[in-house]
C-alpha cells in the first residue's frame, strides 16, 4: 500500500511504499518536470569498520565501504556506466561516513534506468582481478584528496573532535589500509549491509509511482542470503579528543576549522537540534552578525567564513571554517561570544528574522528535482518524515533556542589548522 505524506507549507505530497523485501521507497512526483532522479542508499559508510555477526566481531580495513562502492559498478558482463550510457542517463555514487549512495538522473527511460540501478547494486561481482585493478584508481583518489587542504583541514578536525567514533578516519582509507581489502572483505560487507531492509530508495521528478513499485518488487527480491549484522557502538566520550591539530601545506593563508562537540542525538531530536543550532550560529556568527562584522573590518577574517552543523550517526558538532592569520584568536573570540550571549541573550527579533530565512532556504530545497531527492534521502537516513525539517522550522520558538544556547559547552572545542609552508 502506498502511504501519502502531505505538507501544507510547500503543498507537496511524498509517497511512501515498503516493498515486500523490506526496502522503503519514497517518491515525490513533480508534474511537468522533464527529468527524474533516483537515489538508492545503503546504511553503510566509512564509520562501519567493525560489526558483529552473532557473537563474532568482524573488523574490516578502513576505506572498505568506499571500495565496495567502486566495485559495485562492475558486473560479470558490463559495468554500470556502460549500461547507463545506453539510456543516456548520468549516474554516479558516493560514500559518506554513515551511508553509501548510488544514483542516476535522466530525462528519458526512467524505468529502464531504475532497473539498471537496482540490478547492479543487487548483483555484486568481485574477483581477485577486478578488485586488484581498482586499487590503483582508488590510490590516486586518496592521493588527490591528500593534496586538498580543504579536505585535510576537515578530516583533521574530525580526528581532533572524536577519539573513538570512526568518523575520525578518512572515508577512502589510506593506501596502506586498502591494500588489505580482498574480494571476501567486500562480500562480507555486502552480505552484512546491503540487505533490502538496510537500504532505501528515493525518487523525485518525472516519475510514475506505480511503475517504481512494480520495478522494486521485481528487482529487489531476496536473491541471496544476508547475515544479521550489528554495527559497533562507538562509545564516544563527551570530551574532544585533542584541542588542536596543525599541518603545513602549500596554502596562501592559514585555513582552519573549529568544532564545538555535542553529544549525538537521533531522529527528530537530531533534526530539531540541527535546525536550532544552525539558526543560532547564523544569528551570532553569520554574515549579518556583529562578530563577523568586527572580524572582517579588523582584517582577521575574509569572505571564506562559514558556520554550520555537522551531524550524522553518532556525531554532532557545530563547525566554523575560514582563512586567517590568527585562527586561535578566532576560537577564543567564538568562546567569548557564546559566553556573552548566554548572559545577554540575542534579541527575539533577530531570531524571527533568521528563522524566516531558514524557512526560505528550506523552501528552496524544493525548487529542482535533484535537491528534492536529496532532501528525501537525508530525511530517510535520519529516520524522520520527509518534511520534518520544514515543519520543525515553522514551529521553532525563541525560548527553546535560548535553552540550546545555554546547553553549549564552548570549552569542549577543537581547532584544526593548515599553516602555510
Partner 1 sequence: MFSKITDPRYKQNRFFISLFTDISQIPRSDAALAAYEFTECCERYPEYKQLSSALLDLYDASLSSQTALFGGARRTDIWADTIDDRYALNGEKLERELATLMCDCILRPRANDGMFDEKTVEMLRAQLIDNIDSVINDKAVYAAERAAKTAFVGEAAELPASGTRENAEKITAKSAFDAYREILRTARIEIFAVGCSDFSESEKIFAEEFSRLDRGDIYSFNLKPSALKDKPKYVEDELDMQQAILRMYFKAPDMDDRPANALFSNILGGMTTSRFFEDIREKRSLCYYCGCHSDRFSKTLFCSAGIEPANAELTKEAMLVELNDICENGVSQDELERAKLEVLNTLTSIYDSSFGISNWYLSQILDEKFISPEEYAEQIKAVSPERVREAARKYALDTVYLLKNKE
Q: Show contacts with partner 1 in window 194-213 (CB under 8 A).
A: 205
Q: Least distance to partner 1 from the beta carbon of 363, Å?
A: 5
Task: Kindly state whether residue 403 participates in binding partner 1, applying the rule CB under 8 A.
Answer: no
Work out whether the CA dihedral 363, 367, 369, 374 comes out positive or negative. negative
> Contacts with partner 1 in 35-54 (CB under 8 A)?
35
Q: Least distance to partner 1 from the beta carbon of 252, Å?
A: 4
Task: Kindly state whether residue 228 participates in binding partner 1, applying the rule CB under 8 A.
Answer: no
> Is 170 in contact with 146 (CB distance < 8 Å)?
no
The single residue among 49, 311, 358, 385 that binds partner 1, judged by CB under 8 A, is 358
Q: Least distance to partner 1 from the beta carbon of 146, Å?
A: 5
Q: Least distance to partner 1 from the beta carbon of 103, Å?
A: 13
Phi, psi of 183 (to 5 degrees): -55, -35
The 3-state DSSP class for residue 299 equals: coil
Radius of gyration for the alpha carbons in the chain, expressed in angstroms and rounded: 22
Of 247, 377, 408, which Cα lies nearest the Cα of 312?
377
Task: Kindly state whether residue 296 participates in binding partner 1, applying the rule CB under 8 A.
Answer: yes
H helix or E strand, kind and range, residue 137:
helix 128-146
Task: Kindly state whether residue 136 participates in binding partner 1, applying the rule CB under 8 A.
Answer: yes
> Is 130 in contact with 71 (CB distance < 8 Å)?
yes
* C-alpha to C-alpha distance for 376 and 387, rounded to whole angstroms: 8
Q: Least distance to partner 1 from the beta carbon of 93, Å?
A: 11
Task: Kindly state whether residue 292 participates in binding partner 1, applying the rule CB under 8 A.
Answer: yes
Nearer to partner 1, 359 or 398 (CB): 359
Q: What is the full DSSP assignment across 218-260?
A: HHTS--S----EEEPP----SS-S-SEEEEE-S-SS-EEEEEE
Task: Kindly state whether residue 57 participates in binding partner 1, applying the rule CB under 8 A.
Answer: no
The single residue among 347, 360, 397, 406 that binds partner 1, judged by CB under 8 A, is 360
Task: Kindly state whether residue 300 participates in binding partner 1, applying the rule CB under 8 A.
Answer: no
Q: Least distance to partner 1 from the beta carbon of 302, Å?
A: 5
Cell numbers describing residue 351? 531570531
Cell numbers describing residue 199? 537500504
Q: Least distance to partner 1 from the beta carbon of 52, Å?
A: 33
Q: Which residues touch 94 (CB under 8 Å, ≥6 apart)?
A: 69, 100, 101
Of 320, 311, 374, 293, which Cα lies nearest the Cα of 153?
320
> Contacts with partner 1 in 138-167 (CB under 8 A)?
138, 140-141, 143-144, 146-150
> What x-and-dash track marks residues 59-88 binding partner 1 by CB under 8 A?
--------------------x-xx-xxxxx
The single residue among 14, 15, 30, 258 that binds partner 1, judged by CB under 8 A, is 30
Task: Kindly state whether residue 13 participates in binding partner 1, applying the rule CB under 8 A.
Answer: no
* C-alpha to C-alpha distance for 273 and 296, rounded to whole angstroms: 28
The single residue among 366, 375, 378, 416 that binds partner 1, judged by CB under 8 A, is 366
Task: Kindly state whether residue 367 participates in binding partner 1, applying the rule CB under 8 A.
Answer: yes
- Residues taking part in catalysis: 69
Cell numbers describing residue 88? 543516456
Choose the stretch contacting partner 1; rule: CB under 8 A; options: 226-234, 238-246, 250-258, 377-385: 250-258
Task: Kindly state whether residue 90 participates in binding partner 1, applying the rule CB under 8 A.
Answer: yes
The 3-state DSSP class for residue 29 equals: strand
Task: Kindly state whether residue 329 participates in binding partner 1, applying the rule CB under 8 A.
Answer: no
Cell numbers 553503510 correspond to what residue?
A: 44
The single residue among 2, 10, 57, 395 that binds partner 1, judged by CB under 8 A, is 10
Q: Which residues touch 177 (CB under 8 Å, ≥6 apart)?
A: 61, 62, 63
Nearer to partner 1, 110 or 194 (CB): 110
> Is 153 in contact with 48 (CB distance < 8 Å)?
no
The 3-state DSSP class for residue 8 equals: coil
Cell numbers describing residue 373? 531527492
Amino acid at each position: 500500500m502506498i502511504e501519502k505524506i502531505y505538507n501544507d507549507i510547500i503543498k507537496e505530497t511524498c509517497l511512501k511504499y515498503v516493498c515486500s523485501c523490506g526496502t522503503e521507497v519514497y517518491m515525490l512526483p513533480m508534474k511537468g518536470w522533464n527529468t527524474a532522479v533516483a537515489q538508492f542508499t545503503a546504511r553503510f559508510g566509512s564509520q562501519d569498520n567493525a560489526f558483529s555477526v552473532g557473537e563474532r566481531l568482524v573488523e574490516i580495513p578502513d576505506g572498505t565501504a568506499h571500495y565496495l562502492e567502486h566495485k559495485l559498478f562492475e558486473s560479470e558482463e558490463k559495468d554500470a556506466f556502460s549500461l547507463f550510457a545506453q539510456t543516456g542517463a548520468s549516474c554516479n555514487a558516493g560514500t559518506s561516513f554513515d551511508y553509501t549512495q548510488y544514483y542516476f538522473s535522466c530525462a528519458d527511460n526512467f524505468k529502464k534506468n531504475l532497473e539498471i540501478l537496482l540490478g547492479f547494486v543487487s548483483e555484486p561481482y568481485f574477483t581477485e582481478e577486478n578488485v586488484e585493478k581498482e586499487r590503483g584508481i582508488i590510490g590516486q583518489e586518496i592521493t588527490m584528496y591528500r593534496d586538498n587542504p580543504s579536505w585535510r583541514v576537515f578530516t583533521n578536525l574530525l580526528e581532533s573532535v572524536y577519539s573513538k567514533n570512526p568518523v575520525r578516519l578518512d572515508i577512502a582509507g589510506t593506501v596502506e589500509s586498502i591494500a588489505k581489502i580482498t574480494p571476501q572483505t567486500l562480500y562480507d560487507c555486502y552480505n552484512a549491509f546491503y540487505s533490502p531492509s538496510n537500504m532505501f530508495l528515493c525518487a523525485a521528478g518525472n516519475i510514475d509511482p506505480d511503475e517504481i513499485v512494480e520495478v522494486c518488487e521485481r528487482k529487489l527480491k531476496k536473491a541471496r542470503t544476508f547475515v544479521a549484522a550489528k554495527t559497533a557502538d562507538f562509545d564516544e566520550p563527551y570530551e574532544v579528543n585533542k584541542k588542536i591539530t596543525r599541518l603545513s601545506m602549500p596554502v596562501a593563508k592559514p585555513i582552519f576549522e573549529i568544532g564545538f562537540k555535542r553529544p549525538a542525538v537521533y531522529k527528530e531530536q537530531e533534526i530539531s537540534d540541527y535546525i536550532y543550532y544552525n539558526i543560532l550560529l547564523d544569528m551570532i556568527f553569520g554574515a549579518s552578525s556583529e562578530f563577523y562584522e568586527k572580524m572582517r573590518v579588523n582584517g582577521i577574517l575574509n569572505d571564506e567564513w562559514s558556520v554550520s552543523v555537522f551531524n550524522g550517526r553518532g556525531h554532532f558538532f557545530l563547525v566554523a571554517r575560514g582563512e586567517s592569520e590568527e585562527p586561535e584568536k578566532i576560537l577564543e573570540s567564538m568562546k567569548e561570544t557564546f559566553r556573552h550571549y548566554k548572559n545577554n541573550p540575542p534579541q527575539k527579533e533577530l531570531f524571527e528574522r533568521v528563522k524566516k530565512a531558514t524557512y526560505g532556504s528550506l523552501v528552496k530545497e524544493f525548487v529542482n528535482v535533484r535537491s528534492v531527492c536529496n532532501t528525501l534521502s537525508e530525511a530517510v537516513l535520519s529516520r524522520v518524515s520527509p518534511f520534518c525539517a520544514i515543519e520543525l522550522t515553522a514551529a521553532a520558538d525563541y525560548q527553546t533556542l535560548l535553552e540550546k544556547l545555554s546547553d553549549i559547552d564552548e570549552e569542549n572545542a577543537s581547532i584544526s589548522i593548515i599553516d602555510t609552508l
